[in-house]
Amino acid sequence: MGRQRVAIIGATGSIGTQTLQVLRDAPDRFELVAYAVGRESAAVQELAAAHPGAQRFVGLSGLELSDAILGAAPDLVVAAATGLAGIHATINALHAGAAVAIANKETIVAGGELVIGAARSAAAQRGTSVLERLRPVDSEHSALWQCLAGESVDRVERFWLTASGGPFRTWDASRIANARFEDALKHPTWKMGGKITIDSASLVNKGLEVIEAHRLFEAPMDRISIMVHPQSLLHGAVSFTDGSMKAQIGAPDMRVPISYAMNYPQRSEQPARAVSFADMRELTFEEPDLQRFPGLAVALAAGEAGGAAPATLIVADDIATSRFASGEIPFGGIPALLRDACDRFGGRAAPESVEALSSLRDEVQAFSVQWRPA
Ligand SMILES: NC(=O)c1ccc[n+]([C@@H]2O[C@H](COP(=O)([O-])OP(=O)(O)OC[C@H]3O[C@@H](n4cnc5c(N)ncnc54)[C@H](OP(=O)(O)O)[C@@H]3O)[C@@H](O)[C@H]2O)c1
């Protein structure tokens, strides 16, 4: 088989950089043909020097970004930007016959049927599974995907996602509500971009991941459970109807799920650090506390409600985390803003087009930037 033509959206970020490592480790399998980033930076200059043959796109979004990326005729698009900038590109790449390795959970959660529907029709056309076309990169979803290998989905009893619990796992509610930005950035096990690190501290990220799993695996929300597992070694598990449970275990290293998605259906020969049984002497699991982490409760409720609620959650959370980062609202303001935005807009029908999603986004953004804590 020839080399895979790879395009990366968000090439200078945490996932983008690790994707480039996986790509460079296997030059016989992958060729970088295009990449997109938000702004000019020293990192883009370095990338341009290292990959002079690849097309570079800076600061594009929507259809412009989609046209640019697809112009390079990729076989595989790695969606690794934050937010919704890449949603057109993701949907159109699927329609154009490229596989998409998707880290960008915002697109799956907010885009819902628009994204999954595109993956479903691409899969039907090629006679493959939906997940072969839209490949999970989020570590928990990669774990579930790996657990499902060789299984039939109608024999699944329950999906389990683990959460590290973040830096505030042992804090009381009032201390969490007043946590500082620097505290929220101290993730105990994963090194990630700023937005997802704050979402991991509020556990909103885990709520987004339950919705992401609900979409990707087409499973009811109430069949997906969360376990707080501070060691971050067991990333996800699936219980089956015969009483068996499969789990995926590995070091907290995003190169593993990235590489699994890029190399699928094979595994890479470039190992990450392997986990030993000595590392696993103590694996602990506890239920998440929805009282201390109200943002998780709001996110799960948005997933249950469906309609416009998941998209509202994504847009409001983007603004809420950046307003927290700039000191405009307290950490406890994040769940409050999300709840108010979902109350206001979540009852609407799910957007039926990317344009409808964009206009909902504009309204939720306008509401969220002027929102004040009670
Ligand atoms: N980091 C992780 O370990 C992890 C794990 C699981 C899932 N995820 C998900 O993966 C996605 C990326 O996360 P991250 O942590 O890698 O974020 P990040 O470090 O903040 O990187 C974001 C990347 O997106 C780029 N970008 C922003 N606007 C863009 C645009 N309009 N067009 C193209 N690129 C654009 C940024 O470029 P500039 O810097 O130039 O703006 C940067 O390269 C998120 O959806 C996150 O939830 C991340």
The whole-number average pLDDT for the span 329-354 is 98
Give the chain's domain count.
Answer: 3
Residue with the nearest Cα to atom 33 of ligand 1?
Answer: 37
Are residue 194 and residue 114 in the same domain, yes or no? no
The structure tokens listed for 361 are: 């986004």
- Please tell me the distance between residue 81's alpha carbon and the centre of ligand 1 in angstroms: 4
The whole-number average pLDDT for the span 26-40 is 97
Are residue 25 and residue 119 in the same domain, yes or no? yes
Residues 211-228 pLDDT 10s? 999 999 999 999 999 999
Q: Which atom of ligand 1 is nearest to the CA of 254?
A: 3
Residue 159 near residue 214 (C-beta atoms within 8 A) = no
- Please tell me the distance between residue 281's alpha carbon and the centre of ligand 1 in angstroms: 34
Are residue 174 and residue 38 in the same domain, yes or no? no
Domain end marker among 136, 156, 183: 136
Q: Determine the Cα–Cα distance for residues 215 and 151; give it in Å rounded to an integer.
A: 18
Residue 304 near residue 345 (C-beta atoms within 8 A) = no
Q: What is the CATH number of the domain that holds 39?
A: 3.40.50.720
Are residue 105 and residue 45 in the same domain, yes or no? yes
Residues 250-279 pLDDT 10s? 999 999 999 999 999 999 987 788 999 999
The whole-number average pLDDT for the span 64-75 is 98
Q: Which atom of ligand 1 is nearest to the CA of 41?
A: 40
Q: What is the CATH number of the domain that holds 367?
A: 1.10.1740
Are residue 194 and residue 150 in the same domain, yes or no? yes
The whole-number average pLDDT for the span 285-297 is 98
Q: Is 66 in the pocket of ligand 1 (CB under 6 A)?
A: no
The whole-number average pLDDT for the span 325-335 is 97
Are residue 222 and residue 318 in the same domain, yes or no? no
CA 169 → CA 28, 95, 188, 202, distances in Å?
43, 42, 10, 10
Are residue 283 and residue 164 in the same domain, yes or no? yes
Residue 102 near residue 110 (C-beta atoms within 8 A) = no
Domain end marker among 117, 136, 155: 136
Q: Tell me which H or E stretch contains 250.
A: none
Residue with the nearest Cα to atom 34 of ligand 1?
Answer: 37
Are residue 370 and residue 266 in the same domain, yes or no? no
Would you say residue 322 has pLDDT above 70? yes
| Domain ranges, residue 35 | 1-136
Task: Identify which of 20, 187, 196 to mutate to test ligand 1's pocket (most ligand atoms within 8 A of the CB).
Answer: 196
- Please tell me the distance between residue 82's alpha carbon and the centre of ligand 1 in angstroms: 4
Domain end marker among 136, 154, 170: 136
Residue with the nearest Cα to atom 17 of ligand 1?
Answer: 193
Residue 328 near residue 210 (C-beta atoms within 8 A) = no
Task: Identify which of 69, 82, 258 to mutate to test ligand 1's pocket (most ligand atoms within 8 A of the CB).
Answer: 82
Are residue 131 and residue 146 in the same domain, yes or no? no
The whole-number average pLDDT for the span 121-136 is 97
Residue with the nearest Cα to atom 5 of ligand 1?
Answer: 138
Are residue 84 and residue 190 in the same domain, yes or no? no
Task: Identify which of 19, 22, 35, 37 to mutate to test ligand 1's pocket (most ligand atoms within 8 A of the CB).
Answer: 37
With cut-offs at 50, 70 and 90, classify the pLDDT of residue 2.
Answer: confident
How many C-beta neighbours within 10 Å does residue 293 have?
26
- Please tell me the distance between residue 290's alpha carbon and the centre of ligand 1 in angstroms: 27
- Please tell me the distance between residue 127's alpha carbon and the centre of ligand 1 in angstroms: 31
Are residue 108 and residue 147 in the same domain, yes or no? no
Q: What is the DSSP letter of 310?
A: H
- Please tell me the distance between residue 351's alpha carbon and the centre of ligand 1 in angstroms: 24
Are residue 61 and residue 156 in the same domain, yes or no? no
The structure tokens listed for 363 are: 């309204």
Would you say residue 52 has pLDDT above 80? yes
Would you say residue 362 has pLDDT above 70? yes
- Please tell me the distance between residue 174's alpha carbon and the centre of ligand 1 in angstroms: 31
